[in-house]
């Protein structure tokens, strides 16, 4: 494949004006979000030094997803996604501003951080499924897989940029500045949403307000073997493996005796660099397959085990690059697989279940990993995630070998 053809296929979705605006706005905002993530984690460790407290703060950001995730997806199916995002992005900016003020006024307590984390989670309950399903409205079904992977690249571009900036800001100005910058970054998304052309969105059917719509979505997923098995696999991996906001700061601080947030920032940036590489490497693929997903799960499990085994901080940073590449390739492949193999009228609810499986399991996984680390060490938490990921990969082998497929947009018998 020539470089020109590869580039055209890799960045095809950026040819759509609305998606290009969204991509630029999100890149700025996501960098701010990762700055906030680093600052919040470091603030908890400065306040109490407890890995369990850090686990609780991470977990509370996803409790609403566990309790009402399918409802958030139903709202996305019923309402205009752009209107939902106007509200959720604005409120997220206000909450980031509130965190900055707490730090500036020296009024930080764990109770306040718990409340703010829960409020961030409540916003994410509606924001996440709206953002996920909004992508197809911008680009259409032909480019959805490419757009999802480019979206994953930008999310991790922020993870590459944000932590390094956050580490420098924390060292020079303190953590409050990170929260203020994140608050300001949401303006970029709001401007992008305003500049979009409504006439260029793909028309989407909205779901009626009949009773039982959430239950109907659950029955639909249960009736689709591939969707069901992928969601189970993502739930297992999301619970035990994707807890880097708990394990990495503790690896930096406890295992490698980091004296500042800079070392943690470098770990996050290394993983973000790998994630960009992984996202770009898979973006040109037009259609995800069960076989590809299974290989990514197994590869991710192997490299997670290596992350937990590296004897030095530098070695860990190096291994985090391919780990990040595999992690984002896995998640973006699962995301695009679910979107391309679910019917249009169910897509918001399917993606909300994906959010529950991937993000909503954090209230279980984050405190559990924190507890394991408290009673052992940070390496044990990483190894536990690696073991569960490898076991999940073995579970998926049957799905990959059978190679069952669904027709994109097909609505199976779920009535």
CATH code of the domain containing 177: 1.20.1250.20
Q: What was the pLDDT predicted at 104? A: 93
What was the pLDDT predicted at 337? 86
pTM > 0.85: yes or no: no
Q: What is the pLDDT of residue 411?
A: 40
Residue 114 lies in a domain: yes
List Cα–Cα distances, 131 to 134, 193, 203, 249, in angstroms.
5, 12, 16, 28
Residue 393 has a pLDDT of 93
Q: Is residue 204 part of a domain?
A: no
Residue 50 Cα to chain centre, angstroms? 24
Q: Is residue 415, in this structure, part of any structural domain at all?
A: no
Q: Which two tokens stand for residue 34?
A: 């990762």
Q: What local confidence, expressed as pLDDT, does residue 299 receive?
A: 96
Question: Range of 325's domain?
Answer: 8-195+213-402
What 152-155 contacts at long range (C-beta under 8 Å, 24+ apart), as own/partner pairs, is: 152/275, 152/279, 152/328, 152/331, 152/332, 152/335, 153/275, 153/276, 153/279, 153/280, 153/283, 153/328, 154/23, 154/26, 154/27, 154/30, 155/26, 155/30, 155/275, 155/328
Structural domain includes residue 2 = no
Q: Is residue 206 part of a domain?
A: no
pLDDT reported for residue 96:
96
pLDDT value at residue 207: 59
372 within a domain of the structure (yes/no)? yes
Q: Note the pLDDT tens digit of each residue in 376-412.
A: 898 999 999 999 999 999 988 877 655 554 444 444 4
In this prediction, residue 216 carries a pLDDT of 78
**Nearest by Cα to 351 from 22, 81, 17:** 81
Note the pLDDT of residue 361: 72
**Domain tally, the chain:** 1
Q: What is the pLDDT of residue 413?
A: 36
Q: How far apart are CA 405 and CA 408, in angstroms?
A: 9
pLDDT at 279: 75
**What's the rounded Cα separation, in Å, for the pair 375 and 352?**
34
The span from the CA of 309 to the CA of 321, in Å, is 15
Residues of the chain where predicted confidence (pLDDT) is lower than 50? 1-6, 405-415
**N-terminal to C-terminal alpha carbon distance within the chain:** 45
Q: What is the pLDDT of residue 208?
A: 57
Q: What is the pLDDT of residue 180?
A: 97
pLDDT at residue number 284: 63
- What local confidence, expressed as pLDDT, does residue 157 receive? 67
Residue 325 lies in a domain: yes
Q: Which two tokens stand for residue 120?
A: 């961030």
Q: Is residue 414 part of a domain?
A: no
């Amino acid at each position: 494949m020539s470089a020109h053809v590869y580039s055209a296929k890799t960045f095809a979705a950026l040819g759509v004006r609305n998606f290009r605006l969204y991509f630029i706005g999100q890149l700025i905002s996501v960098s701010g979000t990762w700055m906030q993530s680093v600052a919040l984690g470091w603030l908890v460790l400065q306040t109490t030094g407890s890995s369990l407290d850090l686990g609780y703060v991470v977990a509370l950001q996803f409790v609403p997803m566990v309790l009402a995730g399918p409802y958030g997806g139903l709202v996305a199916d019923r309402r205009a996604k752009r209107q939902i995002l106007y509200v959720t992005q604005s409120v997220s900016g206000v909450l980031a501003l509130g965190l900055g003020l707490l730090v500036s006024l020296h009024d930080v307590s764990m109770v306040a951080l718990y409340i703010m984390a829960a409020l961030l989670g409540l916003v994410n309950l509606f924001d996440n499924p709206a953002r996920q399903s909004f992508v197809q409205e911008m680009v259409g079904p032909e480019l959805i897989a490419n757009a999802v992977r480019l979206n994953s690249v930008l999310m991790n571009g922020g993870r590459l940029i944000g932590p390094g900036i956050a580490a420098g800001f924390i060292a020079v100005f303190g953590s409050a500045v990170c929260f203020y910058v994140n608050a300001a970054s949401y303006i970029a998304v709001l401007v992008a949403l305003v500049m979009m052309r409504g006439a260029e969105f793909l028309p989407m059917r909205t779901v009626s307000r009949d009773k039982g719509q959430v239950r109907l979505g659950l029955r639909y997923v249960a009736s689709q073997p591939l969707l069901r098995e992928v969601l189970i696999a993502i739930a297992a991996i999301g619970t035990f493996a994707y807890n880097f906001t708990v394990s990495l700061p503790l690896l930096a601080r406890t295992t490698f005796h980091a004296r500042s947030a800079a070392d943690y920032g470098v770990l996050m940036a290394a993983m973000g660099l790998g994630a960009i590489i992984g996202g770009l490497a898979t973006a040109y693929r037009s259609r995800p397959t069960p076989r590809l997903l299974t290989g990514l799960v197994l590869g991710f499990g192997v490299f997670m085990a290596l992350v937990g085994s590296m004897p030095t901080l530098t070695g860990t940073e190096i291994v985090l690059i391919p780990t990040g590449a595999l992690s984002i390739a896995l998640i973006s492949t699962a995301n695009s697989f679910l979107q391309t193999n679910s019917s249009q009228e169910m897509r918001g609810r399917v993606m909300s279940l994906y959010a529950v499986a991937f993000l909503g399991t954090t209230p279980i996984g984050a405190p559990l990993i924190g507890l394991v680390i408290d009673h052992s060490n940070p390496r044990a938490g990483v190894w536990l995630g690696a073991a569960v990921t490898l076991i999940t990969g073995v579970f998926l082998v049957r799905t990959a070998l059978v190679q069952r497929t669904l027709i994109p947009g097909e609505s199976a018998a779920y009535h």
